[in-house]
Structures are given as C-alpha cells and as structure tokens.
Structure 1
C-alpha cells in the first residue's frame, strides 16, 4: 500500500453523541425514528438521549483513535445541531464551535478529518413541515447548511462527503431523506423523485464546497452491496443487472456523467412518471460532475438477486426486483447474528467494478461487522471481528496491488461502540467497548477490545502483517 494510504475509522455522530437537546441542538429524524426491527436475534432498542455519550467524551475517544494510530477519521456534522429546525435564519453557534473544536483536536493529534454533511440527521422539523427532500425547498436549506459548515471549517477539513449512502434514500426515506411517501404516491414514483432530488442536493453541496474552499476534495457516497445472480439463468442475470444499475450505479452515474442515465429515463418513461427537473437543476448537476474528486462507499456484505417466475408483465417484474423483500441468501457465505453475509472478496469485486466503470479515486469509508458482545473482566475477545477485517483488507490489497485500483483509504466501522442505525446497542461495531446496556447506562466507561490492538498493528505496518498474534 502507498505510504499516504489513509488507514482510519468512521462513525455517525447522530448515533454516538447523545447530548439529546443540549447546547441548542434540535430533534432530527434519527431521534424520532420509529424503528422497524431487523431479522435476527431479538432487538434491544435505545433512545438517543445519551447513546454512548460521545458528545461529552469526544476528546477521550479521539485519544483512543490516536493511540491506534489512525491517519483519518470520518465523522458527521449533525445538521440539527447546527440548524436546529433546518429553516433557521441563523446557525447555532455552540454547535459550530463543538465541531470546530473536534476538528482542531483531530489535527492536533495528527488525524485527517473526513466530514459527512448529512448522515441520518436532517432536522425533524424539515420532515414534519416540508416532507424532507421530496420538497425542493429543503434542498435550498441544505445548501445553506453546507455553506455555513464549510465556511467555518475551510482550510482545516480537506475531505468532504456530501451525503451518506445517498442511494438508500428511496428505501429508508424517513431516515435517509427525511421524507414519508405520500398516500397518493407509488413506490416507483417515490424512487424517481427522491433519486432526482437527492442528486440535486449532492450537486448543490459540491458547488458550495468548491466555491467556498477550492482546495477541498469532495466525494459522493453510496451504501454499496453488489448483487450477484442467484443462478446462471439468464432471467436471474438480467434481474441482477437491473438491480445493480438502479440500486448501486444510479447515483454515481449521475454524479460522474452530469445527467440522468438512459436506463433511468427509460424507467421513468415506461411508468409515465412526471418529473420536475428544470434547466438550472440540470446545469448544476452537470457542472458538479466536473468538480467531483473521488467516489466513496460503504461495504458490509454482498447480496443475491433472482427474477420472479410468476410475474410476466415487465413493469411489474422490474418493480418487484427493485423493491424485493424476499431476503435471498447466498449459500456460499456465513453471516453474523443479524443475517449480514460475510463476503470479503466481494470488496475486491466492488472496487474493481466501480473503478473500471468510473475511473475515479475510490475511498472505502465504512466497513465492519456488528457483533453481540459482552465485557468480561474488562476485556472483549472479538476475534470474529478481526477475522472479518482480515478477509476484507486482504481483498482490498489485491484490488490495489494486483488489479490497479486507485484507492485513497480504508475507514473501519467503527472506532467506538454506538447505537446501530436501528438504535441498538446490542449490535456493536467498535474497537473500543463502551459500558452500557440497552436499558441501563451503567458507567459508560471505555475499554479497548482485542481488535483495538490488532488494528493498531495493521496501521503501523501499513497492512503488511494481518496475523492475529495479539497478546491481550
């Protein structure tokens, strides 16, 4: 790996901070999210009042990151901490000061900040009053928010991400896009409108960042899960190809080409969906495509896709594939307790596929495994996590060293424990264990897991030695 490779870690502040309504923060869509349980072991949901109290422990947590040797750390500026309602005339100064202090402390510790600008944290007021990114007024509020944050942190933050897992907006619209599907709107219509509006939001953010800080590097980001055909039948191959285009490629195709791709326009036309997409919006998307520096993605698992033998109508069939809820499993891979299948070499496949398609530097900004863990005598032996990372780092090294992929860095998910996207503390991702239960905050004390020392070693030797020979 090149010497300036950005080994690091990442988290979502809205899932870690707590500090519920402290220092002027407003409610956001994660605070008010009504959780739909994942399949797997029984859920243990938490509220966001404290989470893992990163708001009050961020310097301690960053000290752990520095001890691990992180070269980069991705975090998110919570929108509702800066603009509590979202349509506020003036930002919340205490929120801005908090994140500036965090950036300053990271830089003091020699850690490069990577900042996400919307990550499950749209102010709840924008959902209730405007229906989020289904309303183009919210794009204007977002652009204003981005300008406020970048003005404050310009010259200190080099790497920006416009929108976390933008491709998931149509699937988890309340959490990712701050929008509910209106009663008179079909799922395909919601998919189309949110895909276009979030693409405009991304483009507006790129324009703002490059105008305010021309030296900054700006990337778009998706939640990537490659879909393999379930069988070698041509119907399944066609189904997987369609799913990959619509689920994985669509946002990047728009971001890099500066226009809506033909397969997406065909989808719209075949369903007689009326879209509002004016010349000014087309122009900002086009111009932003010429300013984009890199493409980022999360990777946790691969998936499989098959066709539906009992559906003969092509429109109905495509929509069934796009919104497939069958939970098909690949028989070749094992999974964690929540059924997330572990496919390390799928990361190499994804890197090669995305690099060949877009020819832009790539950045893995999330990769990790959720495990139901227990603290025993102050220790957590998380060899399962180490094995997961070993597989994925071997895979990315092959993509870089053998396949020639231009990869900027690798950010593990996550440096510390926090609530999962489903508000669970039982599903832990961190290198550092935080002592709380789902119904008892306990003492919130931090403990290094075995994987902490393993990743420390990996970073120190630039990924050359991945062996699990840690004395813990």
Structure 2
C-alpha cells in the first residue's frame, strides 16, 4: 500500500547528539556537555554510563582536560548541516525532526539576551530544509538543559524554570514561525522520572525525596507545556503542538489475572498518565492515588491546573524501539531505552539487549488511536548496530534493513486498520552520539559518519546499504 497523501517520512535527531561546536558563537554548557565517555564492558548492561551524580559532575569539571565529552563534539552538524540535509533530501525524505539548543539561543538563561548567531544558525538550517521541501518537526527541549539552570536553580523542580523556559521557547516560536508548523515542547517528557539529569537537571544523590522532586519537575514541565501551547496559538493558530513520550509498551507475561492487572497498573503510571493529562487536561485519579501511596506531595496551584485543562495538545508523538513484559513475580530484565523491561521469550534482541517487536508498533498505534482519537506521529524508531566501514567504503547493515522493513510494514498495517498516523521519522538518518551510552559505536543512522567513540576519524559521510533501501521504500510508498 501507499502512504496517505501528505504523509511525512524522514529522520529524527537532537541538537546535543549531532551539533558539536559546544563552545562556539556564544553557546554555554548543557547537561549533555558534562557526560564524559565511559567504555562499556557489557553492551547489555549500561547502568553505569546512565548514572549522573554529584561525584561524576565534580569529576567532570576537575578532569575536564583529560576526559572526552562526546556530545561536545557530536558529528559536527554545526559545520556540515548543508551536506547532511542534502543527503537526507537525496534519500527521498520529506521530513526532518531536529531540536533547538536553549544554550545557543539564550546562553545565560535568565538575562533575556538572545544570541543572534544562534538564531542565524537555525535559520540557515531551516532555509536548507525549505530549499529541499523538507518539513521540519522541531523539539524545543531535547535532553540539553543549560547547566546554569542546574547550578543556579536546581533544575526543573524549581518553578522559576517555567518562566525561563517560556522566555526561551517564545523566542524560538517567534523567530522561526515562518519555517515550522509542527512543534514538540519536550522530548520524551516521561524521561524526567527515569533519566533525571538530562531531562530535568536533577542530581539524584542531592534529593531527600527523589521521586517527589522528579514528579514536581514533571508537573512544572506540564505547566510550561500548556503555557507554550497557549502562546504558540496566539502567534499562529495553524501551529500544531504535540507531546512526545518514550513509549514503553508492555504485555502481561501470561494470562494470570493478577499479572494482567499488574501490567495495566504499570502502563497507567509509566505511559497512559502522560497522554491522559496532556490530552484530557486533568490529573487522572489513579495518579493521585499513586502520589498518596508513595508519599509524593506536589506544589500544584489552581491556575496551573486551569492552564493544563485549557491548553491541550494537537497530536501525539512517541519513540518506539521495543516492548517488554510485566509480572508480579521476578523475571529477567533486558535493556530498554534508558530503563529495563521484562524479557519476552518470544522476541529476539539487538546487540544492546533491546527486544525487537514490530507488531508491538501496530498494537501501540491502534491502542493510542482508540484511546485518544488524536493524530499520531512516530517520532523515533530504529536499531543500534555496531556498523563497520568496509575497505570499499560500503556499510552492510542488512539487519537494520530488516528491522525497518518489519516496523514500517506494521505501520502501514495500522493505517489500514483505520489509525490516523500522519508521519514517521526514523532514529536516525545519520549516525549520532548515543543518548544513553554516550558512545559512537551504537549507530542508528542510515548514513555512516567516520568517527569513533573518542571523536577520532575523518568525519566523512558514507551511505549505508540501508540508505539505498530506505530511498527505494520511500519511492515505492509515497504518491
């Protein structure tokens, strides 16, 4: 089948994972810039590289000259964006999801001084997209909170950060209003609970009640999300504002009723809560019970609840890489996008232990469409592979082709089911620095970047086998 007319298909990236140039043209440090490279001994157990505590932050600053910080380098998109966008266009992609770095726009975060060079850079990027008729989907905050906000305000748990974010996001909306229609205020907003450093700027060992601090930060982001929707609609009523979650689709391990109930409760807390609040505009009762049961007392004001109620999202987007299972009894766990999930005996795994479940994407799309009846956008989907550049400069990544083919077929099946899916962006069109493991070896791209875990290499771009497959798939699938 063909995709519906106007379907968006392309690739997704983030500023901290591709841009580099961390100290150029006025940019200040972000939380991503403080993540130094730690060699992984076991690809299927990366808990050490995911942790950021006060000890690691202190170590990073004290040993800055002797450590390698991968996201400070990225893949040098900052200086290669024209080549990279052209390669994306030549693949047939008509959409490009990217994020804007707060630290490039207002480097000092609370003085309202806008950096013109930062504005100019993104305008140049958008001009390139416009040149090739590529639709940009823009994430306003994607795991690169300015470090100054952590140092001065303690991260997103501080309500003052709401207004700082609004100042920044308002500049972005106004400056780029002629280029962008689709906006995502926060990437994987649920990561505030399980990836507290990059998502919320919270240092885990400095909190008396970590879970409470995380949910307070999350509430503050919900308020900011609603405020931005309100502001955006005044700038241009045709703007489309969506949410974005790390989708953790889980099944009950078996048909034992207790396990089915446990899985339902787990999905409510980890998945549905976020959609429920941003689509329906109120805190669900099951979440209020969860707060009470876990001694979580939040500072929530009536006017904030009214803002959330009156400013709802236009569409739902999410990342989908894998699925898991739930059981009341202890079962083995596997890696799953910065968390661990129950092992499903019917699924295979990637090199990093992420379970491969294409049908799960169809299940997820049907479930979300039936539950919320809002347009859906698959914002991230892909597989990390330790690709090798051959002597003839080819990259044989047939397992990536198989992964994408199976998932995209299930995406088409969901459309035939009657689900309203308006777009898909694979993670990623080009190799990037891994968000969780902070390495280059875990490659997701359809374009190879000649660069190793320590930033060594020519930085030249090479087309993988999957690049040519994806191009043909788009040619065959778009009207």
Matched, 1:437 2:452: yes
CA distance in 1, matches of 2:135, 2:452: 32
DSSP 3-state at the match of 2:75: coil
- Cross-structure match for 1:274: 297
Cα distance 1:184–1:433, how it changes in 2: closer, same or farther (>3 A)? closer
- Cross-structure match for 1:343: 357
CA distance in 2, matches of 1:138, 1:460: 45
CA distance in 2, matches of 1:257, 1:202: 14
Q: Is the deviation greater in 350-359 or in 271-280? A: 271-280
Q: TM-score, normalised by structure 1?
A: 0.91
- Cross-structure match for 1:62: 85
DSSP 3-state at the match of 1:378: coil
Pairing of 1:204-223 with structure 2 (within 5 A): 204-223=227-246
Pairing of 1:69-88 with structure 2 (within 5 A): 69-88=92-111
CA distance in 1, matches of 2:478, 2:176: 31
Q: 1:195 aligns with which of 208, 218, 221?
A: 218
- Cross-structure match for 2:334: none
Question: Would the aligned equivalents of 2:156 and 2:218 in 1 still touch at CA under 8 Å?
Answer: no
- Cross-structure match for 2:54: none
Question: Would the aligned equivalents of 1:226 and 1:303 in 2 still touch at CA under 8 Å?
Answer: yes
How many aligned residue pairs are there?
448
Cα distance 1:69–1:361, how it changes in 2: closer, same or farther (>3 A)? same
Cα distance 1:34–1:327, how it changes in 2: closer, same or farther (>3 A)? farther
Cα distance 1:121–1:326, how it changes in 2: closer, same or farther (>3 A)? closer
- Cross-structure match for 1:144: 167
Pairing of 1:249-260 with structure 2 (within 5 A): 249-260=272-283
Pairing of 1:137-176 with structure 2 (within 5 A): 137-176=160-199
- Cross-structure match for 2:31: 29
DSSP 3-state at the match of 1:296: strand
CA distance in 2, matches of 1:400, 1:53: 37
- Cross-structure match for 1:408: 422
- Cross-structure match for 1:126: 149
CA distance in 1, matches of 2:130, 2:159: 36
- Cross-structure match for 1:460: 475
Q: 1:387 aligns with which of 384, 402, 412?
A: 402
Q: TM-score, normalised by structure 2?
A: 0.89
Cα distance 1:190–1:232, how it changes in 2: closer, same or farther (>3 A)? farther
Matched, 1:296 2:317: yes
Pairing of 1:309-348 with structure 2 (within 5 A): 327-348=341-362
DSSP 3-state at the match of 1:106: helix
CA distance in 2, matches of 1:457, 1:184: 51
Question: Would the aligned equivalents of 1:239 and 1:305 in 2 still touch at CA under 8 Å?
Answer: yes
In structure 1, stretches of 5+ residues that fail to align are: 311-323, 465-472
Q: CA RMSD in A?
A: 2.1
Question: Would the aligned equivalents of 2:379 and 2:425 in 1 still touch at CA under 8 Å?
Answer: yes
CA distance in 2, matches of 1:175, 1:374: 29
In structure 2, stretches of 5+ residues that fail to align are: 50-67, 332-337
- Cross-structure match for 2:367: 353
Q: 1:398 aligns with which of 413, 432, 439?
A: 413
After superposition, what is the alpha-carbon deviation per residue over 1:251-291, rounded to whole angstroms, capped at 9, x for unaligned?
111101111111011112234432211111111101112xx
Matched, 1:307 2:328: yes
After superposition, what is the alpha-carbon deviation per residue over 1:170-191, rounded to whole angstroms, capped at 9, x for unaligned?
1111111122246453344234
CA distance in 2, matches of 1:20, 1:327: 34
- Cross-structure match for 1:180: 203
Question: Would the aligned equivalents of 1:146 and 1:208 in 2 still touch at CA under 8 Å?
Answer: no
DSSP 3-state at the match of 2:311: helix
